[in-house]
Each structure stands twice: as structure tokens, then as C-alpha cells.
Amino acid sequence: MLLLWLDLNSSYAHSSLALPAIHAQVEGKEGNVEWRKVSATINSNVGSVVAEIVAARPDVVAATAWLFTHEVLLKITARVKALLPECTIIFGGPEMLGDNEEYLRRNRHVACVFRGEGELGFHEWLGVYDCPSRWNEVVGLCWLDAEGVYHDGGLARVMEFDQLMIPEHSRFFDWTKPFVQLETTRGCFNTCAFCVSGAEKPVRVLSVERIRERLTVIRDHGIRDIRLLDRTFNGSSRRAIRLLELFREFAPGMRFHLEIHPALLSDEVKELLRELPAGLLHLEAGIQSLRENVLQACRRIGDLQAALDGLCYLASLPNLVVHADLIAGLPLYSLEQMIEDVRVLAGFGTGEIQLELLKLLPGTAMRAEAEALGIVYSPDVPYEVLQTKAMSVEDLRQARLLSRLIDGFYNALAWQGVTRKLIGHDECFLSDFLRWMEERELLEQPLSLERRGALLYEFCEERYPMFLTDISVAWIVAGIPFAKEPSKRLKPWSKEIPGDVVNVMGEYESVMRVYHLPGEKEEFWFGFDRGKSASRPLYVGKKLRGF
């Protein structure tokens, strides 16, 4: 029997763990099943992908359906079924966590879907794939029989998660990507109604020894960036400490991106985080909203003030990159509150702020309760919220545009410093800048780093002229050409740099070409070394005018 796995991802950089995780359980002992893979992204030509699959003439086509690949997946597999009527098509993945009856009736080319964790159950199904009368033996399998009667196999869970063969041992594990995902936990102690892990109990974990084994394999393949799949990272301080100490063993060659709950930072975890090498961790701090009633409506565990204190502490550590998220469309959360929350997060010095629209995913409690909560959401992927009691259609459109604004200016290192100052200076800055950008129809188009800086300068010329020097300094430090307005005041400096100039960045050397930027309150000197960096200054000094 020929099994073809359609490995469909949202981009080239992403790689699903589903195939290697499932195949690893039978690596070297596949029996009468021949495993093949066709890889594609959502930007691939559908016809070409279909032709490649059909040429193999598989008996079974399997694929993982998730938010951003689902639409293209249906297009591909519907065409495959039309060309190969005898082929059996099965889906699994997050999109299958809800009620699958309507889905199967709507997409009749899909023979069955698998709900839950498939490392064991998928192989059970392969043993009876050509005998639908036995499909009821497989926990997690959902299908329509020949008479159109729906059968629901419930939810599959692998309780002995720690005993599974690791995905990295499968020949299908993709080592060509810039990062790999490492699943260390299944389930979550929290109960967030918008998350598929909110009801996933019990929590199951890999031992630290098993994680060390996997990290060693990953390091030996030359991979530096690890995305940890662990929603309960510091649910246990003792485990968090052991993992952080483990990660330190792999410094400086590896970098770990993980989620952390800022309300649950013990003193021991805080101390260890402070001591870790710079660049080792990129932390995603779960915030969602800074409103107690909103978090309660979402059933999120954790004291809000403790979360704020924890985030403030994390953002203060220079050795960490800290990312915080807010979700527009949560129950009771208004646009005005969200904008104010962005200001609070910026005031903490948060490294990145991600603002996203709520998506009501299949299998989540909030999707099941949407009508009672007064939430209207899209019936099609990505199931984004369209309206709530607290946010109108226009409010959510504004939230989406604000998200682009934050990504383009606050989350861009070149403009983050001055954007943070502007946000803190005036509570109306975000709303006014958003309106100004929207009037010029700029938020729906890609903007280069240089273009963004020029727009910020133009806006501040009208509203906040006291920040023009800050923008000019950011422009020059970013290495953007001098010809444009933000750096036109920059002039060559042939004299000695005054002795009372304070170093801001780097050290001045006599071989440097020096330029001077005057300002109303501050003036700056920039040193360039053509042999080391032609466009970016290696030295920046400043002093207050009149001193």
C-alpha cells in the first residue's frame, strides 16, 4: 500500500512536525506500507502539486489541516480525488478538533478525519484503512459511512507521551529549515477559552533527559534556533529551572524561543533568567489583555498585577528579548482599552508587541459559546472575529490597521526607540498617527524601512517637532543614506570632538570620518570607518546644547 503524505506549510521556513512525529513510531518497520512525501507551501502552484501527487498513484493521501493551510489543502485534495477516485483521503490536525460532521458532509472527497494526537491511532487506522467496517476500532476517527451516517471516534490522547519515538529519528524530519520546533509538553495548566490547549488535560511532559537527547541531535545537525512547544513552561518553577539550566548548556550555539507566564515567575526563576547569557532566550509573555474582567471572561488563570509585575521585570533584563501579545476581539475588550494597553506595554520597554485579532478555532470553548458571548466570527478560515459587544466591525478594522502600524514602527528596531518615546509622550499619538497613515492609504501596502522613517519624520514635522532629532539619529544609526530629509542636517566635522561629549555607542577612533548633527536641545557626533562599516556609524556621541 502506498501512503503519500502531503506536507503543506504556510511558508518555506515552516515545517510541520506531524509527519516525522507519526512516522518515527514505525521508522525501519513500516511493514507493507510504503511512505512517500510531497512538500509544498500555500504559495505553490496547485496544479503542479496535484500532478506530482497523481503521478505517484497513492492508495492513501494524508495531510495535516491547520489554520493557514486549510483552504489550499482542500483545493489540492479535491482535485486529487477527482483524478484518483479510488484514493482514500484522511486529514488530521488542529482544524479537526471540533464537530466534524458538517465538515465531512461539506467536503465529501475527504473519507475521514482524525481528531487528536495521531502517533499511535494513525497506524491503527492504516491497518484497517481498506475496511471501513472496522474504523470504529480507531479512537479519534470521524467519518460518514456508505449510508451517510456520521460516526465520531472521540478524542485520541497519547498518555505515555514520554515513551514515543522522537520525530528527529524519522527520515522525514526536515533539517533544511532555519529553525526547528521541539515539543516538550502536551496540554496546559491554564484554561483559556480561546485556546485549543485550554481544555487539554492532563498535562504530559518530556523528561529533561529526553529533551537533552533531542537537543543534542538537533545541535549535531547544525540547527541554532529552537521554537519550544510548551504552553506550561513555568507552570512548575522546579521544572522551569531545570530546563533553563539545560538550555544554558547549549549556549552560545543555540537560541530558544518559548512562551512564559509572567504572573508565575518565582524568585528562583527570576534570578536564573537574570544570569543567562545574552541572546539565549526569546520570551513570549502571555498577556492578551490588561483588563481583569476580560481575562476572567476568557477563563485565564493568573493574577493580572502579578503578570504586569512579571512582564516589567522581564522587559528590564538586557539579556532577554521579550515579546508580549494583545488580542483584539476578546469578550468585553474595547478598542480604546486595547490602545491604552499598548501604551502600558510600550512603557514597560517590551521588546516586541504583537496585536492580533481573535480567531475562534475549532474545538475551543469560546467558539462553542460565541453566540452567548455576542461574538460574530467568520465561518471560513481563519475564523477571525468580525464583531463583538465591545468592538464594532469598524473597531476591529482599526485594530487590524493598528497591528500593522505597531509591526512597522514599534517592532522595527530602527524606529522602536523614538516610537516608544512618542507613545509615552502623548496618549493620542497612536490614534492620530494611525488616522494620518490611513488617510494616505499607506497601511495596506508594504513599506521599506527607509519609507517608514520618512513618513514618521513627515508626521512629526506637523505634530511633534521636538522629536525630529530623535528620528534623524535613528535614521543615521540604521545606515540609511544621508540624502533624505531626516539626515539633511548632518554635516562633516573636521575639528576635534569636544571633550564633554558623552559616548552613546561605540568608541571614537582617530581614523574615523566624523559627522555632526545639530539639534535644539542636543547635538550628536557620528564616527564612520569605511574599512569596517561604510554605511553605519561605529561611534555615536552626544551632548546637551549650552553645556
What is the model's pLDDT at position 302? 79
Q: Is 368 exposed, middle or buried (0-12, 13-18, 19+ CB in 10 A)?
A: middle
What percent of the chain is modeled with pLDDT above 70? 99
Tell whether domain 2-152 is in CATH 3.50.30.60: no
Query: 178-376 falls under which CATH superfamily?
Result: tm_1862 like domain (3.80.30.20)
CB 66 within 8 A of CB 14: no
Mean pLDDT for the stretch of residues 74-91 = 98
Mean pLDDT for the stretch of residues 434-443 = 95
State pLDDT tens for residues 316-346: 999 999 999 999 999 999 999 999 999 999 9
State pLDDT tens for residues 270-292: 999 999 999 999 999 988 999 99
The SS3 of residue 316 is helix
CA neighbor of 38 nearest in space, from 21, 65, 61:
61
How far apart CA 538 and CA 532 sit, in angstroms, is: 9
pTM of the model: 0.88
What is the model's pLDDT at position 29? 84
Mean pLDDT for the stretch of residues 2-15 = 89
Q: Which amino acid is at 301?
A: I
State pLDDT tens for residues 402-420: 999 999 999 999 999 999 9
127 CB-near residues (< 8 Å, 6+ apart): none
Portions of the chain given CATH number 3.40.50.280 = 2-152
411 CB-near residues (< 8 Å, 6+ apart): 352, 353, 354
Joined together, the cell numbers standing for residue 534 give 561604510
Joined together, the cell numbers standing for residue 268 give 528562583
What is the model's pLDDT at position 463? 94
Q: Is 306 exposed, middle or buried (0-12, 13-18, 19+ CB in 10 A)?
A: middle
State pLDDT tens for residues 106-147: 999 999 999 999 999 999 999 999 999 999 999 999 999 999
Whether the pLDDT of residue 547 is over 60: the answer is: no
CA dihedral 237, 240, 242, 246 (to 10 degrees): -160
- Mean of the per-residue pLDDT values of the chain: 93
What is the model's pLDDT at position 546? 61
Query: How far, in Å, are 96, 149, 479 from residue 152 at the CA level?
Result: 12, 10, 59
State pLDDT tens for residues 233-280: 888 999 999 999 999 999 998 999 999 999 999 999 999 999 999 999
Whether the pLDDT of residue 510 is over 90: the answer is: no
What is the model's pLDDT at position 521? 87
State pLDDT tens for residues 22-63: 999 998 888 899 999 999 999 999 999 999 999 999 999 999
Residue found under cell 493557514: 68
Joined together, the cell numbers standing for residue 387 give 464583531
What is the model's pLDDT at position 12? 76
Portions of the chain given CATH number 3.80.30.20 = 178-376
**Radius of gyration of the chain from Cα atoms?**
27
Taking the alpha carbons at both ends of the chain, their separation in whole angstroms is 82
What is the model's pLDDT at position 187? 82
How far apart CA 279 and CA 268 sit, in angstroms, is: 20
How many angstroms from the chain centroid is the CA of residue 348? Answer: 21
What is the model's pLDDT at position 411? 97
Joined together, the cell numbers standing for residue 427 give 496618549
CA torsion through residues 402, 378, 62, 134, sign: positive
What is the model's pLDDT at position 191? 82
How many angstroms from the chain centroid is the CA of residue 184? Answer: 17
pLDDT band, residue 303 (cuts 50/70/90)? confident
CA neighbor of 196 nearest in space, from 400, 421, 362:
362
What is the model's pLDDT at position 198? 67
Query: How far, in Å, are 137, 174, 195, 458, 473 from residue 489 at the CA level?
Result: 76, 51, 51, 15, 11
